[in-house]
Amino acid sequence: MIKTNPIEVDREKGNFHYNTDYEFDAGIGLSEDVVRYISGVKKEDSWLQDFRLKALQTFEKKRLPTHWATNDLENIDFDVIRYYLSKGQMPSRTWEEVPDDVKSTFERLGIPEQERKFLAGVEAQFDSEAAYSRMKDDLTEKGVIFVGSTEGLKDHPEIFKKWFGKVIPTSDNKFSALNSAVFSGGSFIYVPPGVKLEQPLQAYFRINAENFGQFERTLIIADEGAEITYMEGCTAPKFETSTLHSAVVELVALRGAKIQYVTVQNWSNNVFNLVTKRAMAHEESEVRWIDCNIGSRLTMKYPGVILRGRKARGEVLSIALANDGQHQDTGAKMVHAADETTSNVIAKSVSIGEGRSTYRGLVQMPGHLKHCKNNTECDALLINSDSQTDTYPAITVQGEDHSVQHEASVSKVSAEQIFYMQQRGLSEGDAMSMCVNGFVNDLIREFPMEYSVELKRLIDLEMEGSVG
């Protein structure tokens, strides 16, 4: 029998924090002074400070997108958030140099082992800035750049300035404007023509301070024929008050390049996770977003691909788990802007307890283009009778030559399935976990192996206690 008890989620792995002294603290609330302070700490050029100040004005003018999403956004109090906290040091290149409290945090989260095992490079961001950043030496020799946003814009403007803020303009939405005003940290990556990274680069984002907003900025440029997989993980301790994470991630895949961007978001369930992610795909390039949203209070995130070169290909594979008190509002945007472009969206959501998951999809194919293709599948699984799901696909297709396919399904784990599995000896919880893993399994198979193992473990943790 499936019971509807409230669910205690075990997020203990990430639920701890150390008291930390910050050298730089922009104080509480948002103003021009705060923006100038952040820009000053970073010793930025005047164009960048102007960019930030203009973005602040845009942020103040823009309305919250509550008209189409959820009223929960209105609970964000921008005046009590701390916008910049850092210890002021440059990112360390060895674990030994990382300050002890920060090092303990990442060691507890298992970052050094992961780096040794399978990564080409790691960046670990603690609140506003990276505490550790290292890439294998042979990649530096090949001309790969893997730095933070400040370093990227300061040391390599000829590479990054051209695309910075171009894939996602400041005014895209209120939160992209906020990020543009106060961003710090994140990864700026450049992969030179023809360089193919065999191992992934990884960034790890950690919120440590209460009432803190994390606003990292990521820009990845894969030059012609280059290939890169980038992965990010996110955690935060459970504080009494809510926390804001609002990133902007821009990807640029030049002709024939391949970018795979993997996210496993496991924020604690008081984090507002409002992230804008978009890629520009040039001729014959491929961009693939793999997006897993497990934690947070409210996530609004719709990774997109602008297919602007002939035969470009975009893909979003998305998994969302919404537990009690959580709303995962996720999806994908595919803007076809050249002939023979193809896109594929597979989204699976699981709603547990009173959790709510929403799929929001956008597909655009204008009439002057030829032979574009889109396939969209979105499947929702409901665990309890109070679980919620909703789906809002927006598909605009003009012209004669395109092919569009949309499939959606909603299913519920039935009491008969659980009884059947229990009759073979599985406990009720194991049976439920197996059903959920079975539901997302074909999608997880597409993921890099290390992440599929981690994800299965996280799903099992989420399912614990979801049954009587």
Partner 1 sequence: MSTLKVQNLSVYIEDKPILNDFSLEIPYGEVHAIMGPNGSGKSTLSKALAAHPNYDIRNGTAELDGHNLIDMEPDEISRAGLFLAFQYPIEVPGVTIANFIRAAIQARMEESKLFKAVDYYKKLYQKMDDLGIDRNFTARSLNDGFSGGEKKRCEILQMAMLDPKFCILDETDSGLDIDALRVVSAGVNSMRSSNRGFLVITHYQRLLDYIVPDKVHVMWEGKIVRSGDKDLASELESKGYDWIKEELAA
- Positions in the binding site for partner 1 (CB under 8 A): 1, 411, 414-417, 419-428, 430-431, 434-435, 437-442
Measured from the CB atom, the residue of 30 and 455 that comes closer to partner 1 is 455
CA distances from 224 to 125, 389, 452 (A): 29, 41, 29
Between CA 370 and CA 367 the distance in angstroms is 8
Measured from the CB atom, the residue of 49 and 452 that comes closer to partner 1 is 452
* Least distance (Å) between residue 415 CB and partner 1: 7
Between CA 37 and CA 52 the distance in angstroms is 11
* Least distance (Å) between residue 384 CB and partner 1: 15
Measured from the CB atom, the residue of 367 and 438 that comes closer to partner 1 is 438
In contact, 267 and 295? CB cutoff 8 Å: yes
* Least distance (Å) between residue 100 CB and partner 1: 37
* Least distance (Å) between residue 425 CB and partner 1: 4
Q: How many CA atoms lie within 13 A of 115 on its CB side?
A: 21
Q: What is the amino acid identity at position 103?
A: K
* Least distance (Å) between residue 421 CB and partner 1: 7
User: Of 41, 34, 304, 316, whose CA–CA distance to 178 is shortest?
Assistant: 34
3-state secondary structure of 436: helix
Measured from the CB atom, the residue of 262 and 421 that comes closer to partner 1 is 421
Measured from the CB atom, the residue of 25 and 428 that comes closer to partner 1 is 428
How crowded is residue 273: how many other Cβ atoms within 10 Å of its Cβ?
25
Between CA 376 and CA 393 the distance in angstroms is 9
Measured from the CB atom, the residue of 306 and 431 that comes closer to partner 1 is 431
* Least distance (Å) between residue 412 CB and partner 1: 12
The pair of structure tokens assigned to 4 is 């509807």
User: Of 173, 171, 213, 180, whose CA–CA distance to 66 is shortest?
Assistant: 173
DSSP state of 446: T
Between CA 159 and CA 221 the distance in angstroms is 9
Q: Which class for 141: exposed (0-12), middle (13-18), buried (19 or more C-beta within 10 A)? A: exposed
User: Of 316, 260, 121, 105, whose CA–CA distance to 203 is shortest?
Assistant: 121
Measured from the CB atom, the residue of 279 and 380 that comes closer to partner 1 is 380
Q: Going by C-beta distance under 8 Å and a sequence separation of 6 or more, which residues neighbour residue 343?
A: 305, 307, 313, 314, 315, 334, 336, 363, 373, 374, 375
DSSP string of 160-220, one letter each residue: HTTTTTTSS-GGGSHHHHHHHHH-----EEEE-TT-B-SS-EEEEEE--STTBEE--EEEE
Measured from the CB atom, the residue of 105 and 387 that comes closer to partner 1 is 387
* Least distance (Å) between residue 9 CB and partner 1: 23
* Least distance (Å) between residue 211 CB and partner 1: 41
The pair of structure tokens assigned to 185 is 């940290």
Residue 376 sits at φ, ψ, to 5 deg, of -130, 130
3-state secondary structure of 227: strand
The pair of structure tokens assigned to 112 is 């050094």
H/E element, 319:
strand 313-322
Between CA 306 and CA 311 the distance in angstroms is 12
* Least distance (Å) between residue 15 CB and partner 1: 27
Measured from the CB atom, the residue of 339 and 428 that comes closer to partner 1 is 428
* Least distance (Å) between residue 426 CB and partner 1: 5
Measured from the CB atom, the residue of 1 and 449 that comes closer to partner 1 is 1
* Least distance (Å) between residue 378 CB and partner 1: 16
Measured from the CB atom, the residue of 375 and 422 that comes closer to partner 1 is 422
